[in-house]
Amino acid sequence: MLAMHYNNAAGRTAYLAGFHAAQALISERTGHAAKTHRGVNAEFHRLVKNDGRVNDELRAFLGFAYNLKAIADYETGPGSDISPELAGEAIAIAKRFVTTMAELIDGSTTA
């Protein structure tokens, strides 16, 4: 997406990757499904509150990337596009976020 200059789509997709990874962690750990951004964000933070494997950047990712999704989905007019730099940053963090969620899930099934 970035190579094709679809920065808004890249930012939105980075958020959705993290959102769904957080949903998977929540489902695995609690047996329940969180469906809204607010619900996923709150439950995610509760679950990783004291987990040293989740650093501050990953803890902030859902909020940061949700703002990009909101820009992509709802903003219009001048300045309403996500920059290539922000989209690239979101993708890079999303990769780390998804990898970390998979590691947490793997660890929770063996604990």
- CATH at 23: 1.20.120.330
**Per-residue model confidence (pLDDT) at position 78:** 85
**Per-residue model confidence (pLDDT) at position 38:** 97
Q: 24 exposed, middle or buried (CB, 10 Å; 0-12, 13-18, 19+)?
A: middle
Task: Tell me if 97 is assigned to some domain.
Answer: yes
CA angle 34, 30, 22 (to 5 degrees): 50
Task: Tell me if 2 is assigned to some domain.
Answer: no
**Per-residue model confidence (pLDDT) at position 97:** 98
Task: Tell me if 22 is assigned to some domain.
Answer: yes
Please compute the mean of the pLDDT values over residues 82-101 and round it to a whole number: 98
Please compute the mean of the pLDDT values over residues 80-108 and round it to a whole number: 95
**Per-residue model confidence (pLDDT) at position 107:** 86
Model pTM score: 0.92
Domain count, the chain: 1
Task: Tell me if 29 is assigned to some domain.
Answer: yes
Please compute the mean of the pLDDT values over residues 85-89 and round it to a whole number: 98
Is residue 111 scored above 70 in pLDDT? no
**In contact, 27 and 5? CB cutoff 8 Å:** no
Is residue 70 scored above 80 in pLDDT? yes
Question: Which residue segment(s) compose the domain that 91 sits in?
Answer: 7-110
- One-letter amino acid of 36: T
